[in-house]
Amino acid sequence: MFRPAEDTNLARKNNRMPDQLRPLKFTRSYTDLPGSVLVECGKTKVLCTVCVQDQVPPWMYNRHQGGWLTAEYSMLPGAGSPRKPRDGRTGRPLDGRSFEIQRLIGRAMRCAVDLGALPEVTLWIDCDVLSADGGTRTASVNGAAVAVYDALLWMEEQKQLPKWPLRGLVSAVSVGIVGGTPMIDLDYQEDSSAEVDLSIVTASDGRLIEIGGGAEKKPFTTEQFQSMLSLAQTACEGIREQQRQVLGI
């Protein structure tokens, strides 16, 4: 059993327990795009949209291998403090963190979609952070999964799908060690003081898709890792249940 946060020197906001998620909300059809979901995780808010482009990347031309899926991620200038310069305005390429996160989102969703069952289209996932208080990458994955489902529903209504290509939902959560205690769903304050900070992405059956992160101040043990992984997998199961509920499946 893990100690309640209030028994440590680092009481969590709203007296959250170490294994307790922040309030999670999905708002579907936030815009008129085929897939459009506003995901809110505490004070973190991310708009996840999916566009369907009637072509595949050049390297897939004439191969008749189905479709493609990719993602882009961006944090709006006022999403956090201090203000982050808008991508492309500084004369420099996309920053490394944004590039890493959008690749994570793309990999996660390609594990969920049978690309060979798609027509020759590209699903473009755009995740734009409106407000950042920790967990933007995991919120993006969770919102993208719902938005992709809605985009595929739209394609089905347009009679563009030869068969249903979604293998299952994916879910993600942050987990770390803060003040010696394993905790899930870290907000910014917890993330910035964590001894360990990980992001875990799981498939619909609980299998692992991605584990990212590491120690910030000192190494951690295998036992601590197993504790964090167990917390994250249980949390991801709860997130998938909320995704299913909002989708009515």
Query: Which pLDDT does position 143 carry in this prediction?
Result: 98
On the question of pLDDT at 200 being above 70, the answer is yes
Most confident range (mean pLDDT) of 50-64, 82-96, 149-163 is 149-163
On the question of pLDDT at 13 being above 90, the answer is no
Q: Which residue has the higher pLDDT, 175 or 85?
A: 175
Identify the band that residue 90 occupies on the pLDDT scale cut at 50, 70 and 90. low
**Per-domain residue ranges of the chain:** 5-247
Average pLDDT over residues 176-183: 95
Identify the band that residue 65 occupies on the pLDDT scale cut at 50, 70 and 90. confident
Least-confidence region, from 10-14, 119-123, 145-149: 10-14
pLDDT digits (tens, 9 = 90+) for 212-239: 999 988 899 999 999 999 999 999 999 9
Q: Which residue has the tokens 């482009």?
A: 53
Q: Which residue has the higher pLDDT, 95 or 41?
A: 41
pLDDT digits (tens, 9 = 90+) for 122-156: 999 999 999 999 999 999 999 999 999 999 999 99
β-pair type (68-75, 122-131): parallel
Query: Which pLDDT does position 6 carry in this prediction?
Result: 38
Query: Which pLDDT does position 7 carry in this prediction?
Result: 40
Query: Which pLDDT does position 94 carry in this prediction?
Result: 67
The CATH number for 5-247, chosen from 2.40.30.30, 3.40.50.261, 3.65.10.10, 3.30.230.70, is 3.30.230.70
